[in-house]
Structure 1
């Protein structure tokens, strides 16, 4: 007798339905877990850097010294961020300068009323600028930020709460750090509340006080420049004195030249004091942790 062929039932077997439901439920479960999770910006950045290196054809290896993490300040690695800093420097032309150094990217704020005279209290103008800079350099890097404060060479009044210009400059650096970690953090948290809720932004990570190192420079830097100016003044004065003795110039010309030289030197010192109304922010060139 001819064998009868078995007819397979139409459609997928019953177990496929159960299997499909299980996979869908697992996927939904993991999506739910991810939605509740908070992305670590540091870990995310490390993964992004690693993928970028691998896809560029130059993955890290032991032959490269084991440097698996990015060592550059990210503002120099992300054109959009760097362009934003340049835009701010153009907006505050002559007041914001960017320098690339061995230690990292240095942002110099000068020729600006950053603090009240003889005080570490930030002015409204300074806070406005620091807010613009901070939102970019703090939230687009996870490198250590060193904040340098300065003071001029003038002695502090007896009523000052600071013992010396060293103390004043240190307090000024600390005031900038305090502004970043309190006022700016609070404002940015309110502005980016949706990102915080979705786990795309963690203000506690970026505005962690441990990232910021306040450093007081005192009046050492300006004293060096003033010393050089005074040495130049004495040199020119001595040459004019020789000309007077040799009869090359008259006493009247001597008096005129001395008055002119003194005024020029005094004006240079005044401009130096304006220059050292200054705060430096250094984005350290180090491994992202």
Structure 2
């Protein structure tokens, strides 16, 4: 007798369904692990601490009546603590608008004081000041501080830096000193390119200011921009001279050097 032919079942085997579910769950698990690894550790610790202190839950009373509800004074105090917690959390991220507005006003006042200082000391011809989105900028041309292609401060330039140091001694702001050059190439044993020259000039300015005064070195940082940030086209001797400069940026109080 002829045996009937058994046709294989249509579709994928049953074990494939279970296997697919398992692989999907594993994929989701690793995605969750990756997303959790991107959490800001400081922010997570702050929120976790608030949960441990029951600040968030106690600050918002339940709509369901409790057997022993807290009195209104306790609830107000807890709400105030929670508001302070939120405020501190935003301030850590630099989102305090009042503080930012205060910085803006203080820098405007600082610019006026600096302009008066430059006028009283007859420095307008060699040092100029302006306001940027980062702070107040003092611009010193190369000719008053350095010889061409050098990073050693000239003796006749030291009094100008001493005046700048006197100005900085009266304010607590952090300071970034930037070195800038024109686009003409340089290649010497000391300075293979304009990058090294601009950085060395910025460092020399900071070294003179810090060594001659009792400043906290953490307030200062040196940056060399080479010829990447010109203030005039590099097409004439006058414009080359304008681009060879040192800028002393007095940063907003809310800005750090990190």
TM-score (norm 1): 0.49
Residues of 1 paired with 2:136 and 2:231: CA distance?
25
1:111-122 → structure 2 map (5 Å cutoff): 112-122=143-153
Work out whether residues 232 and 242 of structure 2, in 8 Å CA contact, stay in contact via their aligned partners in 1.
no
SS of residue in 2 equivalent to 1:221 = coil
- Separation in structure 1 between the aligned mates of residue 227 and residue 190 of structure 2, nearest angstrom: 17
- Indicate yes or no: 2:143 matched with 1:176: no
1:36 counterpart residue number: none
Q: Which has the higher contact order (CA 8 A, sep 6+)?
A: 1
Instruction: Tell me the equivalent position of 1:4.
Output: none
Counterpart position of 2:76: none
Instruction: Note if 1:213 corresponds to 2:221.
Output: yes
- Superposition RMSD on alpha carbons, in Å? 3.2
Superposed counterparts of 1:53-68, under 5 Å: 65=97, 67=99
Q: Please state whether the residue corresponding to 1:172 is helix, strand or coil.
A: helix
CA distance in 1, matches of 2:239, 2:100: 44
Structure 2: gaps (5+ residues)? 1-83, 88-95
Residue in 2 that maps onto 1:77: 109
Cα distance in 1 for residues equivalent to 2:170 and 2:224: 25
Match of 2:250 in 1: 283
Provide closer, same or farther for how the CA distance between residues 147 and 68 of structure 1 changes in structure 2, counting only shifts above 3 A: closer
Tell me the CA shift for residue 73 of structure 1: 8.2
2:119 and 2:238 map into 1 onto residues whose CA distance is: 25
Structure 1 unpaired stretches of 5+: 1-60, 186-202, 230-268
1:145 touches 1:283 (CA, 8 Å); kept in 2? yes
Q: Determine the C-alpha separation between the residues in 1 that align with 2:239 and 2:247.
A: 16
Residues of 2 paired with 1:73 and 1:173: CA distance? 28
Look up the SS of the partner of 2:189 in the other structure. Answer: coil
Deviations 1:111-153 (CA, angstroms, capped at 9, x unpaired): 63311221110111221111112211x1121111010112222
Q: CA deviation at 1:208?
A: 1.1
**Cα shift readout 1:23-64 (whole Å, capped 9, x = no counterpart):** xxxxxxxxxxxxxxxxxxxxxxxxxxxxxxxxxxxxxx96x7
CA–CA separation in structure 2 for the residues paired with 1:72 and 1:130 = 26
Residue by residue over 1:225-264, the C-alpha shift from the partner in whole angstroms, topping out at 9 and shown as x without a partner, is: 22xx5xxxxxxxxxxxxxxxxxxxxxxxxxxxxxxxxxxx
- Asked whether the equivalents of residues 232 and 243 of structure 2 are also in contact (C-alpha less than 8 Å), the reply is no
Aligned counterpart, 1:248: none
Residues 80-229 of structure 1: pairs in structure 2 closer than 5 A: 82-88=115-121, 91-110=122-141, 112-136=143-167, 138-157=168-187, 159-182=188-211, 184-185=212-213, 203=214, 207-222=215-230, 225-226=233-234, 229=235
- The 3-state SS of whatever aligns with 2:233 is helix
Q: Residues 124, 74 of structure 1: CA spacing in aligned structure 2 closer, same or farther, 3 A cutoff?
A: farther
Q: Which has the higher helix share?
A: 1
TM-score with structure 2 setting the length: 0.54
Give the Cα–Cα distance (whole angstroms) in 2 for the partners of residues 72 and 139 of structure 1.
Answer: 20
8 Å Cα contact 1:149/1:169 also seen in 2: yes
Structure 2 contact 232–239 (Cα < 8 Å) conserved: no
| Equivalent pair of 2:142/2:244 in contact (CA under 8 Å) | yes
